[in-house]
């Protein structure tokens, strides 16, 4: 019930391209759906989050799409930049965060 599956494990995108990372969960008690970004040697930092009462949220180049019936949500990074190269984690929550396995994104110029 706590399992969170994230894909892909790694992603290589050219500068200016779109990066898409997916997350599937099982626990219907989750009520908060964040994406965290982590750079090497640093702690995870909140990138963007969504509540289940909306299906999409956009903040600048970052968009979350949420499909409650499918129990999936995804992160879209538009116009990907080399500075976006990091590991991304979905971490759905009903208090404690349950982290996915992570996606290592590399954006090449």
Partner 1 sequence: EPEVTQTPSHQVTQMGQEVILRCVPISNHLYFYWYRQILGQKVEFLVSFYNNEISEKSEIFDDQFSVERPDGSNFTLKIRSTKLEDSAMYFCAGRGPTDTQYFGPGTRLTVL
DSSP code per residue over 35-64? EEEE-TTS--EEEEEE-TT-SEEEETTEEE
Q: If binding is defined by CB under 8 A, does position 9 make contact with partner 1?
A: no
Part in contact with partner 1 (CB under 8 A); list of ranges 15-23, 34-42, 59-67, 72-80: 34-42
Which residue among 7, 65, 85, 93 contacts partner 1 (CB under 8 A)? Answer: 93
CB-neighbour burial class of residue 88 (10 A; exposed 0-12, middle 13-18, buried 19+): buried
Q: Which of 24, 64, 66, 100 binds partner 1 (CB under 8 A)?
A: 100
Establish if 95 lies at the interface with partner 1 (CB under 8 A). Answer: yes
């Amino acid at each position: 019930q706590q399992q969170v599956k994230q894909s892909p494990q790694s992603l290589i995108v050219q500068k200016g391209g779109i990066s898409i990372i997916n997350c599937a969960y099982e626990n219907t008690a989750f009520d908060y759906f964040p994406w965290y970004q982590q750079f090497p040697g640093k702690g995870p930092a909140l990138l963007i989050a969504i509540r289940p009462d909306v299906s999409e949220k956009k903040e600048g180049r970052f968009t979350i799409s949420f499909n409650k019936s499918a129990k999936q949500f995804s992160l879209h990074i538009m116009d990907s930049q080399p500075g976006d190269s990091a590991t991304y984690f979905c971490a759905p929550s009903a208090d404690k965060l349950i982290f996915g396995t992570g996606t290592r994104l590399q954006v090449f110029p």
